[in-house]
């Protein structure tokens, strides 16, 4: 089914299911702000994910004209910003907190460095009382509470291991074609959401920068997604593009915090030390204004990831990828006549890095063989999560190409989704996880229903409403016909 008609069908189905659900199941789940680290919120803000235009807490019309600079030292989070409030332009700083009360909790109200804050952005606040933001001089600061759509990526991964859900039975009664059309529609819907996020980010920065951040996030895997997003923001692709390869790498490694004395001391092996010294000699000349002080440093997660996914290797891969940026340009400039997958894979297969092809980290000894810098799985994720969402928005006929993209190795979330929806039916598990779009469809249903459910399936409206899926086809056709007319 062509893009975006299947997405519309799923969207309509999804809202109908929730409209007819029991109130308990329909209760919106509050985002868990305590789990949302402040830096992730700031990275999403700076990446333009929330857009530029807001309505303030007191109804003000707010436009962020300039996002400013991400402050690496003490003081407000973003300096030199420009914000239009009810038509009047204000220059100053922007402070971002997970909770509005953090302003006082962190002592900003008594701190002269926060006197020029023009906008206080926050995600959560007390439900029953109003909390004002005031400076040391008792100036009232305009407040913006972030819209909840930005938390659409779902809650963090804290669920217990999966068990087969109540929808296994009704799904088993559906034909393969019906299940395939459900997954395909859910996956089209998901792709549209990703495309929308990147489009909003592009408007706040540029298409290239949004793509660069998206690719960096994909390289960060689950553990270091935010850290890589922050790194991409602190090292914009437009600036990296003007540097030579050594400067580019020094900028990325320095901004990542990987050129500090402690890391140099850990690198016992001569070649590693020479590599780091070369980067350091370039970095120290440029680090003023870029280097972050402790509270604003990028925090990397090292536990739980494979050795080959160590963040130092991922940053090495990102540096190598920037060298291939021009080869990738035809993709987003819509100059590809044949397969996008081929063009992207050809460029990414060409990534080379003499040091990172033989090392897991700077302190590890070289390995004997050659390590792949960017494996097939990562390449497919970059295609499926970043490049196709952008491209299909511009060229809907690329949807067919997207549906030919093969699966990626299952991750824990996908395993849970498959088990919950198909139970122990191995044949169906395999049949409906062979392609990337099927996996994405499963993840979407898992997010929309399983992660919203608080009743061990008892109050989930999905199983009862599955019968409507077949009936919704007629409605979808009529939407399509009327849109075409």
Element (DSSP H or E) covering residue 389: helix 388-394
Q: Using CB under 6 A, which residues numbered 438 to 477 contact ligand SF4?
A: 449-450, 453, 457, 460, 462-463
- Between 451 and 479, CB nearer to ligand SF4: 451
| CB-nearer residue toward ligand SF4: 124 or 453 | 453
Task: Please name the residue that has the structure tokens 């992207």.
Answer: 344
Q: How far is the CB of 419 from ligand SF4 (least distance, A)?
A: 9
CA 311 to the chain's CA centroid:
17
Distance CA 67, CA 65 (A): 7
Closest to ligand SF4 by CB, 296 vs 416, is 416
CB of 22 to ligand SF4, least distance (A): 12
Task: Report, in Å, the least distance between residue 364 CB and ligand SF4.
Answer: 42
DSSP per-residue string spanning 327-374: HHHHHHTT--SS-HHHHHHHHHHT---TTTTS-SSTTSPPPSS---SS
Binding mask 20-39 for ligand SF4 (x = CB under 6 A): --------------------
Q: How far is the CB of 449 from ligand SF4 (least distance, A)?
A: 4
Q: Is the dihedral of CA 356, 247, 314, 336 positive or negative?
A: negative
Q: Which is nearer to ligand SF4, 361 or 468 (CB)?
A: 468
Query: What does 104-146 look like in DSSP terms, one character per residue?
Result: HHTTGGG-GGGTTEEEEEEEE--SSS----B-TT-PBPEEEEP
Q: How far is the CB of 465 from ligand SF4 (least distance, A)?
A: 10
User: Which residue's C-beta sits nearest to ligand SF4?
Assistant: 165
Q: How is 10-79 classified by DSSP, letter by letter?
A: HHHHHHHHHHTS-HHHHSPPPP-GGGS-HHHHHHHHHTTTT-SEEE-TTS-EEEEEE--EE--SSS-SEE
Q: Which is nearer to ligand SF4, 69 or 459 (CB)?
A: 459
Q: Are 212 and 202 in contact (CB under 8 A)?
A: no
Kindly report the number of other CB atoms within 10 A of residue 117's CB atom: 25
**Nearer Cβ to ligand SF4 (171/340):** 171
Structural tokens at position 467: 């019968």
The two three-digit tokens of residue 181, written as one number = 């059309």
Q: In 3-state terms, what secondary structure has residue 260?
A: coil
CB of 445 to ligand SF4, least distance (A): 6
Taking CB under 6 A as the binding criterion, the range among 91-99, 165-173, 192-200, 222-230 that sits at the site for ligand SF4 is 165-173
Q: Which stretch binds ligand SF4 (CB under 6 A): 64-72, 163-171, 199-207, 367-375?
A: 163-171
Residue 16 near ligand SF4 by CB under 6 A? no
Binding residue (CB under 6 A) for ligand SF4 from 76, 165, 214, 311: 165
Q: How far is the CB of 283 from ligand SF4 (least distance, A)?
A: 49
By rule CB under 6 A, what count of residues binds ligand SF4?
11
Q: Which of 339, 323, 340 is nearest to 331 (CA)?
A: 340
Please, what is the minimum distance in Å from the beta carbon of residue 20 to ligand SF4?
14
Task: Convert residues 401-440 into a mask of x (bound to ligand SF4 by CB under 6 A) and - (unbound).
Answer: -------------------x--------------------
Cβ proximity to ligand SF4: between 60 and 448 the closer is 448
Nearest-angstrom CA–CA distance, 442 and 436: 10
Q: In the complex, what is the shortest distance from the CB of residue 178 to ligand SF4, in angstroms, rounded to a whole number?
A: 16
Identify the bridge partners of residue 142 per DSSP, sorted by sequence position. Answer: 119
Q: Note the residues at the interface with ligand SF4 (CB under 6 A).
A: 165-167, 420, 449-450, 453, 457, 460, 462-463
């Amino acid at each position: 089914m062509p893009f975006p008609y299947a997405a519309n069908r799923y969207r309509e189905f999804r809202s109908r299911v929730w409209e007819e659900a029991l109130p308990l199941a329909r209760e919106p789940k509050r985002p868990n702000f305590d789990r949302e680290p402040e830096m992730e919120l700031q990275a999403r803000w700076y990446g333009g994910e929330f857009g530029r235009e807001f309505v303030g807490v007191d109804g003000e019309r707010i436009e962020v004209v300039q996002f400013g600079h991400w402050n690496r030292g003490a003081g407000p989070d973003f300096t030199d910003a420009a914000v239009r409030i009810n038509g009047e332009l204000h220059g100053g700083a922007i402070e971002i907190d997970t909770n509005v009360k953090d302003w006082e909790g962190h002592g900003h109200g008594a701190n002269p460095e926060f006197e020029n804050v023009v906008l206080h952005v926050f995600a959560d606040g007390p439900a029953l009382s109003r909390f004002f933001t005031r400076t040391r001089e008792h100036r009232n600061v305009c407040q913006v509470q972030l819209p909840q759509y930005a938390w659409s990526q779902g809650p963090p991964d804290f669920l217990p291991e999966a068990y087969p859900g109540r929808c296994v039975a009704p799904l088993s009664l559906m034909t393969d074609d019906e299940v395939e059309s459900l997954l395909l529609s859910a996956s089209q819907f998901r792709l549209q959401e990703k495309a929308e996020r990147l489009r909003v980010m592009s408007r706040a920065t540029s298409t290239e920068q949004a793509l660069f951040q998206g690719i960096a996030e994909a390289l960060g895997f689950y553990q270091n997604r935010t850290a890589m997003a922050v790194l991409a923001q602190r090292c914009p692709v437009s600036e990296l593009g003007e540097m030579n390869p050594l400067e580019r790498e020094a900028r990325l490694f320095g901004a990542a915090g990987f050129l500090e004395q402690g890391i140099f001391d850990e690198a016992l092996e001569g070649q590693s030390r020479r590599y780091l010294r070369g980067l350091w000699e370039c970095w120290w000349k440029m680090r003023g204004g870029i280097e972050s002080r402790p509270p604003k440093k990028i925090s990397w997660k090292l536990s739980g990831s494979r050795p080959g996914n160590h963040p130092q290797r991922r940053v090495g891969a990102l540096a190598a990828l920037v060298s291939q940026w021009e080869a990738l340009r035809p993709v987003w400039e819509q100059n590809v006549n044949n397969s996008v997958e081929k063009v992207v894979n050809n460029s990414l297969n060409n990534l080379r890095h003499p040091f990172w092809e033989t090392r897991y980290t700077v302190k590890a000894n070289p390995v004997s063989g050659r390590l792949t810098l960017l494996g097939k799985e990562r390449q497919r994720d970059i295609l499926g999560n970043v490049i196709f969402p952008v491209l299909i928005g511009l060229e809907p006929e690329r949807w067919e190409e997207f549906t030919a993209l093969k699966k990626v190795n299952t991750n824990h979330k996908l395993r849970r989704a498959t088990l919950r929806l198909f139970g122990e039916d191995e044949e169906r598990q395999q049949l409906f996880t062979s392609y990337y779009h099927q996996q994405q469809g499963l993840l979407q249903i898992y997010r929309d229903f399983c992660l919203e459910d608080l009743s061990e399936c008892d109050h989930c409206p999905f199983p009862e409403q599955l019968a409507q899926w077949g009936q919704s086809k007629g409605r979808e056709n009529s939407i399509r016909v009327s849109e075409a007319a």
